[in-house]
Amino acid sequence: MSILGQPIDRIDGRQKVTGTARYAAEFFVPGVVHAVLVESTIGAGQIIGFELAGAQKMPGVLAIITPQNAIRLPMQKGSPQTVHAPLLQDMTVVYNGQHVAVVVADTLDRATAAAAKVRVQYQAGEPVTRMEAVLDQAYVPKHFRNGTRPPDSRRGDPDTAFFTGAVRLEATYVTPIENHNPMEPHATIARWDGPAGQERLTVWHTTQGISATQTSLAALFGIDPSRVRVICPFVGGGFGCKGATWPPAVLAAMAAKMVGRPVKLVITRAQMFTSNGYRPQTVQKLRFAAGSDGRLVSMRHDGFTQMSMPVLGEYSEPVGLPTEMLYDCDNVAVTHRLVATNASLPTYMRAPGEAPGDFALESAMDELAAALGIDPVEFRLRNYAESDPHEGKPFASKALRACYAMGAEAFGWSRRTPAPRSMRDGAYLVGLGMATSTYPTNRSPADARVRVTDRGATLVAVGSQDIGTGTYTVMAQTAASVLGVPVGWVRVQLGDSTLPKAPVSGGSQTVASVGPAVLAAAQSVRTKLFDMARADRWPGAPDAALRLQNGVVIGPDGRLPIAELMARRNLDSVEATEHAAAAPADSQYSKHAFGAQFAEVRVDPELGEVRVVRYVGAFDCGHVLNAKTGRSQLIGGIVYGIGMALMEATHVDEETGRVVNSNISEYLMPVNADVPAIAAIIVPSDDTRSNPLGAKGIGELPMVGVAAAVANAVWHATGVRVRRLPIRVEDLIAV
């Protein structure tokens, strides 16, 4: 049986549990000094001066970098850096918590103390802090989905068709600002080497995209990417916030260049709320209608996303994309608009677009089902899309019907009584809710190198990164399955930009992108070994007549150790580097993963407290390369979604624009006591039309639909329809 797909332990597990896994801030770099950020205390305005004398006199201070002395960086439009500002390039303040200075000292304590002594003089303006206050100033995104498609779409005539519906729904759904909060904060150690004009930059940097960081830093400092090396063997969680090259990394490199010493910059937990993006607030206005037969006749989804001031860049949360393709409806309109506020630049957060968008979509579907008196699962089946109605293409694979059936059976959906407040557990109200999941199956180009020694020891080298999802392990399994060796014989090198190039670990694409490159490289090595065996013993033997097992080629009438094959050719190893292409833009298929989410909640009718007491998710996620790490990803996504439904929200002071809960004691996230028994069902599916491994991404899919499933369960328990996340005690008290 192939090792691919088996639930083997993580090959990097021992390093992590013993503390020997080294993260960006933990590398020993001789002569390193420390940088600390100084942040603005106003939400809008101009810096008119600095008082630095007190800080400069403090012991150990090497430099205080402000917009008045910072290195000028090329900020031309179109340059490949992900984040254009703020990088101490001018005296304008556009949000509270903006980086306005960097203090460098010989120790962290001294840098921190000196940073506290820096005084900034401002001419304060009036910040825009509430998205709702300027909703009428919304504008069309210029670079929606990185310019790959327009922000709006339409088929049919949804506005006219709306009035033909027997049941009509007009509702607004709101999701809050959310922050990523991985265990590991952003950290960078930057060092410059070499003579003037030939400098080389090395950064030990926590990132979800080594190659992207290399390209961004090279562009900002005007050097060739080959002279930038990015090292990141382990990432302590990212969830999207480490996908871009954010200002702290750039400022660490700037500081190192200015002081002529390696510089370490580790941001604080509070600075995690102002330095590296967040999921922006969304306001989604839905206008749906269905006929008495339970068929959708009109869907309109207008999404508004909070944005920073445009000077910082652009990010649009693509909330309407699930509405375009998930259900069979002839009349659909989707729009996306941005609303500028004095806030830092938003970014991708686990399941960007789909997570908040699906909350609105699947809540609305539940409301329509209730109004029609149709079971929520049945209502979705009546509107099941056999092919993608937006793109007009067949799906590469789709097992959503099986997800509904297997999930409902495992959950016991049939015991649900339709009326709200009709189920109880003693004094508690019980609710059962469900929702649909979907997420695109993405794939980007990647390269990989595989080397096999004469003893069968195997090296896989690829410039990807393991963000905690198990990339080391599944790449070892991929190579081992081709080369016929135990996983323990395989060593995987990741986390270094000198290795073959790979894409960012985002969009649930690492396995689908890097896996085919590793597969192709391993197959090339196997072919070379088979060719040697054919030349030495089995001329003309087809591949089907040969196989590799534990460093031996087994042929029609015997065995040939690969050590002998290599020795005859004076080789000590055989290697191959292969390229796996991106998914073709003109693919004839629509590529998505799917799932069905089922939640049971218990609500205290007097206190309004909600507990998720049981959860089942059934997922069409293709060929899972490791059943153990795959299940972990599915459960983790569901837990993340429970946090979105009931807990997570970033609070901003309306007067100042300051984040007031920039910590993990007041920014609430699920802990063990909040997590119920979770059953994660992997529905049999294989999608080789999307990639040779037949895999679909599972990092983000399981989060999509969770918030809606919980909200729908809360409605079933209480009769209260909550359309603003997170669901609070105040929404339900004394129901």
The yes-or-no answer to whether 24-125+183-237+242-273 and 133-178+278-442+588-732 have a common fold is yes
**What whole-number distance in Å separates Cα of residue 206 and Cα of residue 275?**
14
CA atoms within 13 A on the CB side of 568: 11
Does pLDDT of 396 surpass 80?
A: yes
Confidence bin at 406 (pLDDT 50/70/90): very high
CATH number for the segment(s) 443-580 = 3.30.365.10
pLDDT, tens digit (0-9, with 9 covering 90-100), for 303-356: 999 999 999 989 999 999 999 999 999 999 999 999 999 999 999 999 999 999
Residue with the larger pLDDT of the pair 659 and 146: 659
Q: Peptide bond preceding 185: is omega within 30 degrees of 0, i.e. cis?
A: no
Does pLDDT of 650 surpass 90?
A: yes
Please report the pLDDT score of residue 260 as a whole number: 97
3-state secondary structure at position 542: coil
Please report the pLDDT score of residue 78 as a whole number: 40
CB neighbourhood size of 287 (10 A): 18
Question: Which stretch of DSSP H or E encloses residue 538?
Answer: none
**What whole-number distance in Å separates Cα of residue 303 and Cα of residue 172?**
10
Angstrom distances, CA of residue 268 to CA of 16, 25, 256, 276, 326: 22, 13, 19, 12, 41
pLDDT, tens digit (0-9, with 9 covering 90-100), for 166-181: 999 999 999 999 999 9
Confidence bin at 25 (pLDDT 50/70/90): very high
CB 40 within 8 A of CB 97: yes
**What percent of the chain is predicted at pLDDT more than 70?**
98
Task: Enumerate residues 6+ apart whose C-beta is below 8 A from 635.
Answer: 678, 680, 702
**What whole-number distance in Å separates Cα of residue 650 and Cα of residue 278?**
9
**What whole-number distance in Å separates Cα of residue 290 and Cα of residue 298?**
7
pLDDT, tens digit (0-9, with 9 covering 90-100), for 183-210: 999 999 999 999 988 999 999 999 999 9
Q: Compute the C-alpha angle 258/261/267, nearest 5°.
A: 80
Please report the pLDDT score of residue 84 as a whole number: 52
Phi, psi values for residue 117, rounded to 5°: -90, -15
CATH number 3.30.365.10 given to 133-178+278-442+588-732: yes
Confidence bin at 735 (pLDDT 50/70/90): low
CB 404 within 8 A of CB 613: no
The H-assigned helical ranges of 38-99 are 53-56
Hey, what are 312's tokens? 């910082």
**What percent of the chain is predicted at pLDDT more than 90?**
96
pLDDT, tens digit (0-9, with 9 covering 90-100), for 56-80: 999 999 999 999 999 999 864 444 3
Does pLDDT of 82 surpass 60?
A: no
Instruction: Report DSSP letters for 331-382, one per residue.
Output: -EEEEEEEEE-SSPPP---SSTTHHHHHHHHHHHHHHHHHHHT--HHHHHHH
Does pLDDT of 29 surpass 80?
A: yes
Task: Enumerate residues 6+ apart whose C-beta is below 8 A from 196.
Answer: none
Catalytic residues: 700
Amino acid (one-letter) located at 416 = R
Domain ranges of the chain: 24-125+183-237+242-273, 133-178+278-442+588-732, 443-580
Task: Enumerate residues 6+ apart whose C-beta is below 8 A from 417.
Answer: 423
CATH number 3.30.365.10 given to 24-125+183-237+242-273: yes
Hey, what are 479's tokens? 């190579």
Average model confidence (pLDDT) across the chain: 96
For the chain, count helices (H), then strands (E): 16, 29
Checking 54-58 for CB contacts under 8 A at 24+ apart, the result is: 54/117, 54/119, 55/103, 55/114, 55/115, 55/117, 55/118, 56/114, 58/105, 58/110, 58/113, 58/114, 58/117
Mean pLDDT check: name the lowest of 82-96, 402-416, 571-585, 720-734: 82-96
Please report the pLDDT score of residue 585 as a whole number: 82
Instruction: Report DSSP letters for 151-201, one per residue.
Output: S-EEES-HHHHGGG-SEEEEEEEEE--B----SSPPEEEEEEESSTTS-EE
Please report the pLDDT score of residue 75 as a whole number: 60
